[in-house]
Structure 1
């Protein structure tokens, strides 16, 4: 056994079999994948990585499985799944994901892309771990929801960790009480009603972290610029989408800097924080068109044409509502299992507030803001009473 000092959970007990997984090149790559993309452009301390988050999720999962009535081999399998749940994350984490999803229909949960090749495949085989079972745990397809569920080990760790490193206090909740008061029914995590307030606190933390950090307009602008640069490289045939599964942050930055034209310009803008600006930034409920029918690429092309700007310098950002699995977490109330949003009016209010918090953004270089903004207002039929506040 080894001990690792973790910022969030204190001393982590790392068994020998865990070290064998951690020491593989595939897992070590996570040291070079930022946890929350370009958030450090807003929150300078947000330089933590998927590596330390994965160790944290492993620790939360270990504490949970210790209380499960299952054999040691199954406990090991669940903890290994927690450790490996992010092994297929792409450079700058979710900032690359939508590009790969569009081209390959894959995302970071498709860990088979990484686990079924290279050194890590041999290590898992030698440890006697069932890769198919690990994949099922990570994708939420197994009979246990510790790794992937409504309120799971992943969510507990990332809210605590991201809050700490951004310096935003919104991610603080009583995680230890929540972990200790979770009960298991047929391997499924159920929240004891005596811990309802801790579960509500987690949902409040999640809502505030999304609105304050994850969907901060600077984070969104940098992310969308990065996506557009990747798309440019893929369309030119200089980058294969699947290669992103084996790249890290420095590798993709160097690749883009070595490119010609637009991709190089974009990555230099991001690195030097010379980002596009908001030409339009408005609550989605104030938009007069059905955004479900709007293709962002088409909208960018049409807005750019009407504004007399090169299409490369217009970005349309239509954020999607998070899945919100947490709202459906199960709660044990007087011997009856109910959904969290059924027993908590606060959780129902948070669900509605999350829908109303999403913002439509149109971004462009500073010199084009006014003309792109006027065209974008008309294109999206923005509420007339709101238009005067935009400039």
Structure 2
């Protein structure tokens, strides 16, 4: 692509080899808010099970950007190859090479910055995020479109990512680190829309080959979609490599060869050819295996359960009555204009290690259960995991790709198991850990298409959601149910209690059999 001429810097990566960068990307990477990702592990406690899994969200973000660009280049090449090979190509878009370089740069930046809002301990920090009401009160004037998109939903790390994307861009412009030409070469709102397609206008319109098209569906699908996207493609390879468990392997070249850009109702989409279904299944199986063998490893989940228990206690802390952890970083003269600064200060200060060793103990010291909480935290630091006292694995059969996780089943199971345990041990000393794996998670949201061929060798364009006849056999939904218990209380769980828990699980499973 012509854009290759802008790739003037490089970084060596063990997964992708040479990752090339533009001047604009280097300036975003050099910002402290991005550099802090070096201190946030990709998988919080996985290194306690697989010692080499100490890789961070920094290199993962670079990897996602690299894959996103590879996908775009292959879309261009495959459109030429597909139209030359097939007569019926009315749905295929042949002018990907004419997508403006500004939009290519926006895609790469979106891929690079998609995880920038992750706090310390990654997903497990999300429980500390302030309430929607508190956040809106402080920032709605600065980010009106963001809060219009959020509505009444809870604040998540993806929303912090959008705030940081805009913040870094504004700082680079203000400090003169981006030249005027560089500023004009990208639209930061487009970057934010590619990360979160519901943001702002929900479209990126550009004129290609004399026709105005919305390219947002294709760009968003490259980074985040079901069942395959650049994010998943990188973390499967990276987490498999650094854990040493070779089960996240898939044929990326086969996937790259099978993608084509398609046009429908003046919108561009990413599509897979029907011949790629076996490779898609291979990818789905690789992901499923990595979840069951690595992410859901009992010891890894035990440490996560311990942290969850501490976090629940910390959220009841007296240090922040309004449960806004960022306010502890406000300067003495509390002004609304300082709130964004204190968010930045919090994220720049709190690495994984600082959060565990300094902030969390400080929060617990103001908690009603500080002694119990600190003991659990010390056990976590000393690598003394809770015991797994119960485990059940539930596999759903005869599914179609639109069948997902039954949240009511999970909720009911956790509720009734808690009622059994709460009479014999305090809830801070145990955790009911229900992890799930849905091969086609969020399939109803994906905008990826499937090009299918009929008996007359003619292609038709279909949404993935409507291709159950070809994909249902690859669907799987799994529930991993475990109960972890502080070793101090191991003698209180006897066979009678375990039998009661098993009977509880079977009863609820029978009630939901037709739904899961």
* TM above 0.5: yes
Mapped to 2, the partners of 1:168 and 1:82 lie a distance apart of: 26
Where does residue 387 of structure 1 map in the other structure?
none
Alignment counterpart, residue 209 of structure 1, candidates 290, 307, 322:
290
Identify the range of structure 1 (36-45 vs 188-197) with the bigger mean alpha-carbon deviation.
188-197
Identify the range of structure 1 (134-143 vs 95-104) with the bigger mean alpha-carbon deviation.
95-104
User: 1:252 and 2:376 equivalent?
Assistant: no
The verdict on how the C-alpha distance between 1:88 and 1:15 changes in structure 2, with shifts beyond 3 A counting, is same
Where does residue 381 of structure 1 map in the other structure?
504
Segments of 5+ residues of structure 2 without an aligned counterpart are 1-7, 77-95, 136-153, 199-215, 327-342, 366-370, 397-407, 454-458, 508-516
C-alpha contact (below 8 Å) 2:119/2:126 kept by paired residues: yes
Where does residue 253 of structure 2 map in the other structure?
176
The verdict on how the C-alpha distance between 1:303 and 1:90 changes in structure 2, with shifts beyond 3 A counting, is farther
How far is 1:135 from its partner? 2.2
Alignment map for 1:156-305 (pairs within 5 Å): 156-185=233-262, 186-238=267-319, 240-241=324-325, 247-254=350-357, 255-258=359-362, 259-260=364-365, 261-284=371-394, 291-294=409-412, 296=414, 300=418, 302-305=419-422
C-alpha contact (below 8 Å) 1:159/1:209 kept by paired residues: yes
Where does residue 53 of structure 1 map in the other structure?
60
C-alpha contact (below 8 Å) 1:146/1:188 kept by paired residues: no
C-alpha contact (below 8 Å) 2:126/2:157 kept by paired residues: yes
User: 1:149 and 2:186 equivalent?
Assistant: no
Mapped to 2, the partners of 1:49 and 1:264 lie a distance apart of: 26
The one-character-per-residue Cα deviations of 1:52-87 (angstroms, maximum 9, x if unpaired) are 000000001112233334110111111100000000
Where does residue 475 of structure 2 map in the other structure?
351
Segments of 5+ residues of structure 1 without an aligned counterpart are 385-391
Mapped to 2, the partners of 1:112 and 1:140 lie a distance apart of: 11
Q: How many residues align?
A: 376
Identify the range of structure 1 (76-85 vs 187-196) with the bigger mean alpha-carbon deviation.
187-196
Where does residue 42 of structure 1 map in the other structure?
49
The verdict on how the C-alpha distance between 1:383 and 1:231 changes in structure 2, with shifts beyond 3 A counting, is closer
Where does residue 26 of structure 1 map in the other structure?
33
C-alpha contact (below 8 Å) 2:41/2:352 kept by paired residues: yes
Mapped to 2, the partners of 1:124 and 1:164 lie a distance apart of: 38
Alignment map for 1:329-344 (pairs within 5 Å): 329-334=448-453, 335-339=459-463
How far is 1:9 from its partner? 0.6
Alignment counterpart, residue 70 of structure 1, candidates 84, 87, 99:
99
The one-character-per-residue Cα deviations of 1:102-132 (angstroms, maximum 9, x if unpaired) are 8881222212232343x45322784434333
Mapped to 1, the partners of 2:278 and 2:260 lie a distance apart of: 16
Could you state the TM-score of these two structures normalised by the residue count of structure 1? Answer: 0.85
C-alpha contact (below 8 Å) 1:364/1:372 kept by paired residues: no
Where does residue 388 of structure 1 map in the other structure?
none
How far is 1:331 from its partner? 2.2
Where does residue 486 of structure 2 map in the other structure?
365
